[in-house]
Structure 1
Amino acid sequence: MSEDVEMVEVIIREIRKAAEEEIKRILSEAEKEAKRIVEEAKVKAKELREEKIRQLLHEHRSKIEREYAPKRLEIKRSYIKNKYEKLLSYFNEILSEVSKDIRNNKEEYTEFLKNVMEKAFTSIKSDVIVVHPCKGETTLVKEIIEPYVKSNPSLKGKSYAIGEEIDCDGGLFFESKDKREYYNGTMKAKITEIRETLLPVIAEKLLSDL
């Protein structure tokens, strides 16, 4: 009988021991799981805070961009306008200096006059062309035009007459006898052509640099 009691007690102790170990294991796993959940919650909370901060920064930046976009555009336009005006002024100064240098150099000015003569005689279809020199340049034009016409076979059948002098800063003005055709070969007209050709290129360059 006593042996049976002892056996029962041993069994009870073993069961109790196993139960205690299982409880410890369960508690340990529960503690680990609780820590994991807490850590995940911390990470999630941090991510939510960071996302909220990013969202607030994005909203703030978008608001600033909306408010200052018109001002930024105005500043950009003002910048382009100022830079364009400075370049235009500088460009005009260069053209003015070049035209003065050409007029002050007889050889270069003679070549310029021959060049506009060629373009005028080619573009005007009339057989008789009236040539108007700038004031004070009739003698020079006569010295150039007669040998030029005689030495140019493509002008065969063309004739010319020296018309009244006009108020201009170099070059020549050509027109047909019936005044239906004309060619503006004055220095001012040539400068205008150059300006109209190059200024769009300059403007495009300014815009592309922004």
Structure 2
Amino acid sequence: MLSTNALEQTISKILSQTEKRVVSTLDETLAESQKQLDDMRSELDAEYDKIISDGKKEADKIEKQIVGSSDLEARNQQLLVVGEAVDNVFNEVLEQIAKAPRDKEYSGLLDTLLREAMSVLRSTDVIVYSNQSERDTVQSVLEKFPDAEMASESIDCLGGIQIKSRDGAMTFDNTLDARISRLKPLIRRDIAAKFGVSG
């Protein structure tokens, strides 16, 4: 039989060896865990930096959208104000034209309007329309154009003339209303440009 002393020494030796192995394993596990923690910390730092960077980019993008939207809204408001001002001026001009005397000078204007319209249609063989109040003046201007004929019906306009080819295939509106309508967008654009508002 083994003596108690020998048994104690054997147990003590086994415990000592086991303790060394456990401590060694714990040291290795601790070192490995520390390495993994350091690796994870680097990855987390990189991920954190990426999230912050992406967040800043998104914030910049949203800020640009807000600023762009505000600029667009301000520009649209400026265009509306310019448009209203131009409309008011045109309404005043139309009132003045309606009140203007239909004298010899106006007869000369009708002659010019008629010649322009005939030039556009490339024909003097036309039917001419005017408003009721200017029929006599237009008729006297038509005496210079024997191929042209005064229409039996009148048109609703501020002044000026409208012509049609005899076959009705071509029409040119050279009334004062039409001329003003054609000029209005150009004038609006020029005024907007002078005030630094494009559109």
Judged with a 3 Å threshold, the aligned counterparts in structure 2 of structure 1 residues 170 and 78 are, in CA distance, closer, same or farther, namely: same
Post-superposition Cα deviations, 1:76-108, rounded to whole Å, max 9, x if no partner, equal 111111111111121122223223323322245
Give 1:199's aligned residue: 188
Alignment counterpart, residue 138 of structure 2, candidates 135, 138, 141: 141
Q: Is residue 124 from structure 1 mapped to residue 121 from structure 2 by the alignment?
A: yes
Between the aligned partners of 1:141 and 1:73, the Cα distance in structure 2 is 54
User: Which residue of structure 1 lines up, in the alignment, with residue 176 of structure 2?
Assistant: 187
- Residue identity in the other structure for 1:139: D
**Which residue matches 1:82?**
77
Over the matched positions of the two proteins, sequence identity in percent amounts to 18
Question: Conserved in 2, the CA contact under 8 Å of 1:135 and 1:168?
Answer: no
Structure 1 residue 160 and structure 2 residue 148: aligned?
A: yes
SS in structure 2 opposite 1:207? Answer: coil
TM-score w.r.t. the length of structure 2 is: 0.60
- Give the aligned residue type for 1:118: R
Instruction: Let me know the Cα RMSD of the aligned residues.
Output: 2.9
Q: Which runs of 4+ in 1 moved over 4 A?
A: 59-64
Letter in 2 for 1:182: T
Unaligned residue ranges in structure 2 (runs of 5+): 1-53
Total equivalences in the alignment? 142
1:38-90 deviation digits (Å, cap 9, x = unpaired)? xxxxxxxxxxxxxxxxxxxxx99866543321111111111111111111121
Distance 2:115 2:128 in 1: 12
Corresponding residue to 2:112 among 111, 115, 130:
115
* Alpha-carbon distance in 2 for matches of 1:85, 1:100: 23
**Pair 1:62–1:175, CA change in 2 (3 A):** same
